[in-house]
Structure 1
Amino acid sequence: MHLQDVFLSLGIPSGPMADNIAASVAMYCREFHPQGVQRSDLMLLIARAFCAVNDRAAAERVLSSMRPHRLHVVRWLEILSELHHFPGLLPYFSAGVIRPADWAGAQLDRMWTLDFGRLVLSDAERHEMMLYRSIRTIIDNMCCFWDATGGEGVLGLKGLASLNVEQGSRASATLTASDDLLGYVADLLEQAKEKRGWRAAPSLLSLDL
């Protein structure tokens, strides 16, 4: 996919700025994703690159073309402009696995959604031990969200049932129970509280009720 074609499809005009953005995104992809990137990853990289040069209008066009990012464009602009832990979070951001909270009354600076229903698991990750390792990686990457508030905040968990059973011929093989998963995530956040010196650990909220 040619980056200039992406810009054209979004109505972003050609010129030196677009050329520089295309070059920087291409360089990033060659260094960190030599096997290629998903379109959703690429779009978020483009949005972040425009945020880096303070062209929020162009970044907004990119984000407005993405689901579910279009729901909180202003918040995503802030995230992409300020967050330094971007590479590890990119695949979860672009797939909508991690996103700002979208429930009523949410404080977007400290409340986040972790949507397991959007998590794509490899065959290896569909075994309980590997699944828990993957979840630990996700939570470890998310902890930076609550550093500024000393751990105060909320993590909403969605799509827990999607991890209950293995698909296909082994549909009866349980991956993990929802209550076990909630307990595991709570333990990870308590560990993060101790490690990072937070005043509190983020509260958990099940969004599947």
Structure 2
Amino acid sequence: MIWSCQAEELTAAEDLAATIAADLAAVVTLPPLALAETAAAVAAFIRDQHPNEALSATYRLVLIARALWAIGEEQQARRFIAARGAAWQAPPLLADMAVAREISLPHWRALLDSRTVRPTASLARGAIWIVDLQCLRAAASTGLELTLFRTIKAMVDHLASVWDRTQGRGILGLRHLQAAAAELLNCFPRSRSSRVMAEEIKNQFQARLQAARICRAWQALPEIICLDMQGS
């Protein structure tokens, strides 16, 4: 679903706020004034940060939920995503993204739209977040190993907050790990060199999660799994 927010007429801003307010009113319980102000704040952010852009339903959910969280309504934010996400095929885990204070909304949008990071259904072992290494490598701008590792460090340090609610319990899935390692070294995916590099990339993720566990006082550590064998 694509949500267009073009402001061609004077009433467009009011229409946008009214649409958001209607979405909120259908799910959350807020005083009328608070609801209207929240909708207006989201509409203003969209006009300022994304003028004449098309926004995905996923990003729209995150924007509105973040606004609810910002006024101290985290449970309402989670309820909104759970209700609207079901209709728009967005997982409830987006709520953890919306309340992740360490990462900006435009940054989340870049990660979501590029499919570098995405949540999947939560299992008994906790929240599952998938990182696509080929997309991440492209975001690193160059093929230099050091640049990729710096990108991994920065991304995991920001992403870590999505596991705060579960005290570190969850899963980090790495997709296209072997392919990204081979592209980095310009060698065959099944070669010994690419396997060694893939293991080193995985170790980088492990090290950053270990650091996050200490820094954030998690009781557990997200499990890292490689999804290459699942046909990715």
TM-score bucket of the superposed structures, by smaller chain:
0.5 to 0.7
1:26 Cα deviation (Å)?
Answer: 2.1
Q: Residue 115 of structure 1 corresponds to which residue in structure 2?
A: 132
The C-alpha deviation readout for 1:136-177, integer Å capped at 9, x for no partner, is 11111111012222222221111102312338xx83497872
Q: Which amino acid counterpart does residue 218 of structure 2 have in structure 1? A: W
- Of 183, 186, 189, the residue aligned with 1:171 is 186
Residue 3, structure 1, aligned to residue 22, structure 2: no
Aligned to 1:84, the other structure's residue is in SS state: coil
- Number of equivalent positions: 183
Residue 135, structure 1, aligned to residue 152, structure 2: yes
Single out whichever of 132-141 and 193-202 deviates more from structure 2: 193-202
Contact kept? 1:60, 1:73, Cα under 8 Å: no
Aligned to 1:110, the other structure's residue is in SS state: strand
Taking the aligned partners of 2:202 and 2:98, their CA distance within structure 1 comes to: 31
* Higher share of residues assigned strand: 2
- Of 66, 83, 100, the residue aligned with 2:119 is 100
Taking the aligned partners of 2:222 and 2:91, their CA distance within structure 1 comes to: 24
Taking the aligned partners of 1:81 and 1:133, their CA distance within structure 2 comes to: 24
1:22 Cα deviation (Å)?
Answer: 4.2
- Of 88, 104, 126, the residue aligned with 2:143 is 126
Q: Which amino acid counterpart does residue 47 of structure 1 have in structure 2? A: L
Q: Over the residues paired in the alignment, what is the CA RMSD in angstroms?
A: 3.9
Residues 1:90 and 1:207: Cα distance change in structure 2 (over 3 Å): same
1:49 Cα deviation (Å)?
Answer: 3.3
Q: Residue 203 of structure 2 corresponds to which residue in structure 1?
A: 183
| Larger-gyration structure (1/2) | 2
Contact kept? 1:160, 1:208, Cα under 8 Å: yes
Q: Residue 10 of structure 1 corresponds to which residue in structure 2?
A: none
Alignment of 1:6-155 (within 5 A): 14=15, 16-18=17-19, 20=40, 21-29=42-50, 44-51=58-65, 52=67, 56=80, 60=84, 64=88, 70=89, 72-76=90-94, 78-79=95-96, 81-87=98-104, 88-102=107-121, 106-107=123-124, 110-119=127-136, 121=138, 124-155=141-172
The C-alpha deviation readout for 1:28-86, integer Å capped at 9, x for no partner, is 348xxxxx98x56x6654333344467959x948x83xxxxx3x44443x346544344
Aligned to 1:125, the other structure's residue is in SS state: coil
Q: Residue 160 of structure 1 corresponds to which residue in structure 2?
A: 177
1:127 Cα deviation (Å)?
Answer: 0.6
Structure 1: which 5+ residue stretches go unaligned?
Answer: 6-13, 31-35, 65-69
Taking the aligned partners of 2:93 and 2:84, their CA distance within structure 1 comes to: 11
> How high is the TM-score relative to the length of structure 1?
0.66
Contact kept? 1:153, 1:202, Cα under 8 Å: yes
Aligned to 2:228, the other structure's residue is in SS state: coil
Taking the aligned partners of 2:177 and 2:167, their CA distance within structure 1 comes to: 27
